[in-house]
Chains A and B, each alone.
Chain A
């Protein structure tokens, strides 16, 4: 059974600081997603990581994937208040025409002015 672990689960950081969220998963997968969720809202896709060594950047967020270590990171650079949200990583399990995401528990990020 695929297990996905995120840490930390809660992160309070000051504006302007850098930090990294980690996502470990237990079995081989060929793709990983990062999503953002604001309170009471739906999930917004941030990044799709398809291969070992993949790195994607959007604004102050950068995601990377190491399939050998079964590890993805979401790095936040010079945090701003607008980044306050819950961030989820999700790992794909696929086979025989099926396709499902297993989510981590999420990291609740609070950026303090």
Chain B
């Protein structure tokens, strides 16, 4: 168990809908990262937040957005969903305080199925 929690575990929704995925980082970790894993694209970095501020953006679609709240949990919002958005979405967190600095610990993931 990495200490990173994600809810829900599974989500099934229809095209055109909007969903919110939630992530709680490990205790004390200030950075949160979101990744998408799909069969055709592999594991792709979406976005990073550090202590509430966006720090890096990867291959994140404009239909997707994220935020990190004062209690450090993060949410990934996916809107106008398409079939191709079906994937496993991972959240990871890291600390700048430990010896293994910046090592990312991954949550269990949310499996999104768009029908």
Binding between chains A and B: yes
Q: Are B103 and A45 in contact (CB under 8 A)?
A: yes
Q: Sample 5 A-B pairs with CB under 8 A, ordered by A number.
A: A42-B2, A97-B50, A103-B43, A103-B44, A106-B43
CA distance A106 to B31 in the complex (A): 25
Q: Are B106 and A42 in contact (CB under 8 A)?
A: yes
CA distance A35 to B2 in the complex (A): 13
Residue B83 CB within 8 A of the other chain: no
Interface size class of B (residues with CB under 8 A): 20 to 34
Q: Are B108 and A100 in contact (CB under 8 A)?
A: no
Name which of B2, B55, B103 has the most chain A CB atoms within 10 A of its CB. B55
The B contact surface, by secondary structure, is strand
Name the one of B56, B100, B108 contacting A48, with C-beta atoms under 8 angstroms: B100
CA distance A102 to B33 in the complex (A): 12
Q: How far is the CB of B31 from chain A (nearest CB, A)?
A: 7
Contacts A88-B43, A106-B42 known; A100 to B56 CB distance under 8 Å?
yes
A-B interface pairs (CB < 8 A), number: 52
The 6 nearest A-B residue pairs measured at CB: A98-B56, A103-B43, A43-B106, A98-B55, A100-B45, A42-B106
Residue A92 CB within 8 A of the other chain: yes
Name which of A43, A44, A98, A104 has the most chain B CB atoms within 10 A of its CB. A43
The A contact surface, by secondary structure, is strand
Which chain B residues (31-79) contact chain A, with CB distance < 8 Å?
31, 33, 35, 42-45, 48, 50, 55-56, 58
Q: Mark A85-105, 1 if CB is under 8 A from B, else 0.
A: 000101010100111111111
Q: How far is the CB of A102 from chain B (nearest CB, A)?
A: 7
CA distance A17 to B106 in the complex (A): 30
Residue B107 CB within 8 A of the other chain: yes
Residue B24 CB within 8 A of the other chain: no
Contacts A45-B103, A45-B105 known; A99 to B31 CB distance under 8 Å?
yes
